[in-house]
Amino acid sequence: MASWRCIFGLLLATCYSSVSGEPNPVWHWQCLQGTCQKQHYNETVSSSPLSLPTCRLSCSDAAGLWPKPTGDVSVSNIFQNVNFNSIDVVPKQSNSPSSKLVREAGKVFKEQIQATIPRRFNPKGGKSLLVDVDIKNPSFSRLTLDTDESYTLKLSETSDGRLNALISAQTFFGARHGLQTLNQLIVFDDLKGELLIPSEALITDKPAYPYRGIVLDTSRNYITIDAIKRTLAGMGASKLNTFHWHITDSHSFPYVSKSRPELSKYGAYSPSKVYTDEDIKQIIKYATVRGIRVLPEFDAPAHVGEGWQNTGFVTCLNWQPWQSYCVEPPCGQLDPTKDGVYDVLEDIYGDMIEQFQPDIFHMGGDEVNFHCWKSTPNIAEWMQRKGLNVSEEKDLVQLWRYFQDNALQRLDKKAKRNIPVVMWTSHLTDPEYLTNALPKDRYIIQIWTTGTDAQVGTLLENGYKVILSNYDALYFDCGFAGWVTSGNNWCSPYIGWQKVYSNTPEKIAGPTKKHLVLGEEAALWTEQADSASVDSRLWPRAAALAEAVWTSPANPSWEAAEQRFLAHRERLVELGIGADAIEPEWCLQHEENCRIGAKLNTDTKFN
């Protein structure tokens, strides 16, 4: 059943149809005391009902945008009906590497608008929207740590009644963020059955930090291509720009190396649980259109195992009791004394450099177990021959450095340049070894200690560039059952989004050292997650990280961000991402009423 209602403005009558069954809403939202409040709708008093998403555009902090822009936000409270079928995204520089990306990003833009329209609605009529995308450096199509990601978005009405959005940016990467912001300004109003957009807006924006990522482990459990794409879709919607792919580990080797295919043949969980060259191409394309770099990690010399069985280059593989040789089963470590191991590494690096064309490379380098190496007879003999003492930690560190220096040489040979390398904090980043083992002009250190660990200070005082993944705020695998013990897992409890939100670089590094922080990255180690649960582990918490590092408020207040955060979680769900629920929908609908110390009591206003 459809019924038609008309609203009479000054000059124009706008009509809309409602096919939802009940044409007359009894509730709507009004901006009162700076918040959207659910009010009884009486059509003799209010001419036009507003849905909550529409109300937010003119009432919420920063028009409800997530992450909150760092520049100016001015948005009109007059809304126009947009015709979904006449939205065009047009690159101004038509024959450049960027223009193809802009056209692809335009498709994503339209898909995201479509996703906001509930199935039973078919909005009709409305004005056309032309999105002009003006890129100053259109030849630039790869993200680096120096890429300018700023943009300006200007929305206006033309004299002949069409809507025009102008997105200006230095690079495609800024422009696609502008499109993403525009996406959030177009809402489906289910009280009107229309797609609405503010008639005017002016937004300037750029990220506070250049590196904003998620590290996903695809070895402990395999993650399907679809689940990886959902992850990338959520990242794009939240302006995260780095998908750090921890593609292999001891448990399985799903990466199909073109030059060493036997590694995945032996090491994948099954022939279907692999990432082929074609899969990787698809993922990189999907990511690039969303402004995301795909950063490959090949973790070594620890965190190897399955797949290496027949090479002769792995030791301690599945040794028991595993507690003596590694942090979790199955154990496995490369044998640095075997010359052939570096040939295999060179081949893997070469394959990855060719496929990913990365601007930075991750060599892993965490959790080397010295007891494993010194319990390997041929390693002990080799060390003796070199005058190293297997009982001395510093000599085992020498062995590790021998491995790292050789592995780095092979990487450089394949990259044909000194590509910046990321390594996890480890023994090598201890103060006594750090500056010799990992020179700061070569290595970026990814911190996974707690945010208050002494290593953080050591690294910053020595002038290292760092990426923060401090486990006490950014390990999203914490807080589930133990799997090698009873009780809860090692880094319990579960980390709430509020903690993620307030973990800003300035808070960890301090105001005088924050310039050394490239950004932050949330980690999902997948011992206890797979494609069925990856969405709810990551989202919406990774969006909290996104604002901590894009906006990076000086005094982060989750309370002030809560309503925008809840709104963004709804956007993620609309995109088909299984983002976890944070609180009852009642609290989404009754802003500011659920928190302890809430000041508003909208009950009285229903009378």
Contact yes or no for 437/377 (Cβ under 8 A): no
> Least distance in Å: CB of 190 to ligand NAG?
21
Q: Which residues are catalytic?
A: 367
> Least distance in Å: CB of 397 to ligand NAG?
14
> Least distance in Å: CB of 41 to ligand NAG?
9
Q: What are phi and psi of 40, to 5 degrees?
A: -65, 130
The residue among 519, 557, 573, 569 whose CA lies nearest residue 215 is: 519
Is 604 a binding residue for ligand NAG by CB under 6 A? The answer is: no
Binding piece for ligand NAG, criterion CB under 6 A, among 161-169, 227-235, 385-393, 415-423: 385-393
Distance CA 490, CA 215 (A): 19
Nearer to ligand NAG, 27 or 490 (CB): 27
Is 95 a binding residue for ligand NAG by CB under 6 A? The answer is: no
One of 77, 389, 531, 602 touching ligand NAG (CB under 6 A): 389
Read off the amino acid at residue 153. L
One of 88, 277, 392, 405 touching ligand NAG (CB under 6 A): 392
Is 607 a binding residue for ligand NAG by CB under 6 A? The answer is: no
Q: Quick one: three-class SS letters along 441-483?
A: CCEEEEECCCCCCHHHHHHHHCCCCEEECCHHHHECCCCCECC
Q: Are strands 194-198 and 79-91 parallel, antiparallel or unpaired?
A: antiparallel
Is 485 a binding residue for ligand NAG by CB under 6 A? The answer is: no
> Least distance in Å: CB of 24 to ligand NAG?
10
The residue among 395, 405, 474 whose CA lies nearest residue 437 is: 405
Is 393 a binding residue for ligand NAG by CB under 6 A? The answer is: no
Q: Which of residues 193-212 bind ligand NAG (CB under 6 A)?
A: none
Q: Which of residues 493-522 bind ligand NAG (CB under 6 A)?
A: none
Concatenating the DSSP letter of every residue in 102-165 gives HHHHHHHHHHHHHHHS-TT------EEEEEEEEES-TT--S--TT----EEEEEEE-TTS-EEE
Is 555 a binding residue for ligand NAG by CB under 6 A? The answer is: no
Q: How many Cα neighbours within 13 Å face the side chain of 533?
A: 12
Binding piece for ligand NAG, criterion CB under 6 A, among 82-90, 124-132, 387-395, 491-499: 387-395
Q: Count the Cβ atoms, other than its own, within 10 Å of residue 338.
A: 18
Strands (E), 287-389: 293-300, 314-315, 333-334, 361-364
Is 391 a binding residue for ligand NAG by CB under 6 A? The answer is: yes
Q: Which of residues 19-58 bind ligand NAG (CB under 6 A)?
A: 42, 44-45
Nearer to ligand NAG, 40 or 515 (CB): 40
> Least distance in Å: CB of 232 to ligand NAG?
48
List CB contacts of 335: < 8 A, sequence separation 6 or more: 313, 314, 315, 341, 376, 378, 379
Is 11 a binding residue for ligand NAG by CB under 6 A? The answer is: no
Sign of the C-alpha dihedral computed for residues 568, 574, 577 and 578 taken in this order? positive
Contact yes or no for 291/233 (Cβ under 8 A): no
Binding piece for ligand NAG, criterion CB under 6 A, among 80-88, 191-199, 389-397, 423-431: 389-397
> Least distance in Å: CB of 389 to ligand NAG?
4
> Least distance in Å: CB of 349 to ligand NAG?
35
Q: Count the Cβ atoms, other than its own, within 10 Å of residue 458.
A: 18
Nearer to ligand NAG, 42 or 409 (CB): 42
Nearer to ligand NAG, 11 or 45 (CB): 45
| Residues within the interface to ligand NAG (CB under 6 A) | 42, 44-45, 389, 391-392
